Amino acid sequence: MPISEGLNIAMMLAESGVVENAVHEMMARPELIVAAESNPGVKSAMKGQLLKWRQHVQKRISKISTEERFDQEIGLYQEVINWERDYFNEHVHEVVKKLEGHSAFYFKAKTLIERDLIKHNPMFQSYFCNQWVQHLKQALTEAQLHELERHKEKLLADLYQRIETMRQMEEVTESGDEKKAGRLWDMAKAKLTRTDVNTLKSIATFLKKNNGLQEIAEKLGRMANEVDDPNKERVRSEDLKMVEERSDSVTDDIVGVHESDDLSKLLPNEAMFLAYPELEVVFYKHLVDKRLMNYRVQGAQRKLRRVKAYKRQTKQVEQDKGPFIVCIDASGSMNGFPEQCAKALAYGLMQIALAEDRDCYVIMFSTQQITYELTKQDGLSEVLNFLSYSFHGGTDLGPVLDQSIDLMCGEKYKNADLVVLSDFIAPSQPDAMMKRIERLKEQKNRFHAVSLSRYGNPELMTIFDHCWSYHPSKLGRLLKWK
């Protein structure tokens, strides 16, 4: 049997529908059906996960034949099938010896040669090789099915874990946005303990009570669409607009006297001509000549007019939103309420990033930097690690700004929002850094600051596009600086 026909089992099984049937079997499980129907975003994310799994498994089982245990036997089979009959009869015992301990065909092969069929059957070589390839095909198929079952069990365990995590997260997050639910499914690989759930509930409750922080997060989420794109051309447009115009027919004010023929605005002394018959003709002559003395009045009236203007096309074009880079001051001076505010605001930004299909990175900085990617696979573990971090050390803003600027220079961080949460009790930054920041602003990256202290350095705040102050006290209130 030709090698192309007899040993290409891997692709045969991968394309036979076995993997597809495994996917349908898993999706028919009641727990997965309920989870998929609970939210369109979860259903879409689950389908995407199963599609990736199917592609991975098909690729994996198609490579079973390249494993060392099969590769050597396949190579030996390819060699033997092309031997001359006499040479085969002379060396077949050596072939069987090589199969010992490595092939399921060994015992069958040993039985065949012990029957002494070599001498009496001219078709023995063909029969021997045919039996060998059948055993080889069976062994490959069993290995591939075993591999498929192993991956299937692993996937089911992961799916059930995600369902359990999503059920626990219902206590923490509000339902609604399907895209947010889909992203949360991608992050739900982490196994949550009751302590983890309580930690997330605590930070979510804190954010809800301090609605000023939630307002900041929502405003930051909208800002990507509020920036004009300098690369877009300005176009001419016409709009209807209510305008005020000066008019002599509106009697708002008397501003003087002039000659006219308006009898409604006639000065009283002009009517004296009508008291005497001999002067009456003079009155009518002045009337015809528009020389009667009239009050001059003036006022404003409103009219709808078409106003022509040039504006950019950006308001008609949806902007691509880059990731959030949240830099949190983890110095000792941020302990207590400021620390809770910083963690809650970062958690709120993560929720917005999930809903808007954006990434969210948190960089904790004091005397060193620690980075957490909150929206990646297994992102809930990153969130919990971030929330459990204790603030200590001193404030060193320069290195974290350098690190953030380096990130924002890459294509992945185009149109990003950098948010610095700190008490800003730190020195001003050098001119070289200011110039780097200005260049990034020209590329549509935005720089924001949220100060959690009344004593921040005002000069330091000038490098940011938008600044907020959220004072960590019972009387603290949200103030927009600029």
Q: pLDDT for 251-268, tens place per residue?
A: 677 888 888 888 888 888
- Calculate ∠ Cα 466-438-322, nearest 5°: 65
Distance between CA atoms of 50 and 197, rounded to whole angstroms? 27
pLDDT less than 70: residues of the chain: 1-16, 65-68, 116-120, 174-180, 182, 224-251, 302-320, 472-482
Q: Which residue has the tokens 């959220």?
A: 470
Phi, psi at 267, each rounded to 5°: -70, 145
Phi, psi at 244, each rounded to 5°: -100, 135
Q: pLDDT value at position 179?
A: 63
Percent of the residues in the chain that have a pLDDT greater than 70, as a whole number? 80
Q: pLDDT value at position 239?
A: 61
- Contacts by 98-101, CB closer than 8 A, 24 or more apart: 99/73
For residue 288, give both structure tokens: 């015809």
Q: pLDDT value at position 385?
A: 85
User: What is the homologous superfamily of the domain 212-227+319-480 according to CATH?
Assistant: von Willebrand factor, type A domain (3.40.50.410)
Percent of the residues in the chain that have a pLDDT greater than 90, as a whole number? 1
Nearest Cα to 293, choosing from 313, 263, 322?
263
For residue 59, give both structure tokens: 């690729």
What is the three-class DSSP state of 371?
A: strand
Distance between CA atoms of 375 and 382, rounded to whole angstroms? 8
Please, which residues have CB within 8 angstroms of residue 376's CB and are 6 or more apart in sequence? Answer: 187, 359, 382
Q: pLDDT value at position 230?
A: 46
Q: pLDDT value at position 304?
A: 60
**Residue ranges matching CATH 3.40.50.410 in the chain:** 212-227+319-480
Q: pLDDT value at position 317?
A: 44
For residue 357, give both structure tokens: 């299909």
Q: pLDDT value at position 96?
A: 84
pTM of the entire structure? Answer: 0.60
Q: Which residue has the tokens 């950019």?
A: 312
Encode burial over 20-55: b for 16+ CB neighbours within 10 A, e otherwise: eebbeeeeeeeebeebbebbebbbbbbeebbeebbe
Q: pLDDT value at position 162?
A: 83
